[in-house]
């Protein structure tokens, strides 16, 4: 059975979020919202796979919209969370 990755592993996601947040703060653009927040351990445990996938999609869309997609970079298979 083929598995599909939902999002990065939490630690990887937090590293990506830090890069996005730093870029957001440096940009200082009026009207630009901050990147969608990453989950903390408790919210990660309590969220569904669909919620994780939706939040990651929102993060990627934000990065694309504001020109920060390059900060996400390539994710290896070990970096990805498949819902298990």
Return the CA Rg of the chain. Answer: 13
- Cβ atoms of 7 and 55 closer than 8 Å: yes
pLDDT tens profile 5-64: 889 999 999 999 999 999 999 998 888 999 999 999 999 999 999 999 999 999 999 999
Which residue ranges make up each domain of the chain?
7-73
Q: Is 81 helix (H, G, I), strand (E, B) or coil?
A: strand
Q: Which two tokens stand for residue 17?
A: 């979020």
- DSSP code at position 1: -
pTM of the entire structure? Answer: 0.89
Q: Is 80 helix (H, G, I), strand (E, B) or coil?
A: strand
């Amino acid at each position: 059975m083929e598995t599909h990755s939902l999002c990065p592993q939490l630690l990887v996601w937090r590293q990506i979020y830090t890069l996005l947040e730093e870029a957001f703060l440096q940009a200082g653009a009026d009207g630009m919202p901050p990147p969608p927040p990453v989950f903390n351990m408790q919210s990660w445990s309590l969220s569904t796979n669909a919620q994780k996938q939706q939040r990651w999609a929102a993060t990627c869309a934000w990065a694309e919209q504001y020109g920060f997609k390059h900060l996400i970079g390539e994710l290896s298979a070990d970096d990805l969370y498949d819902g298990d």
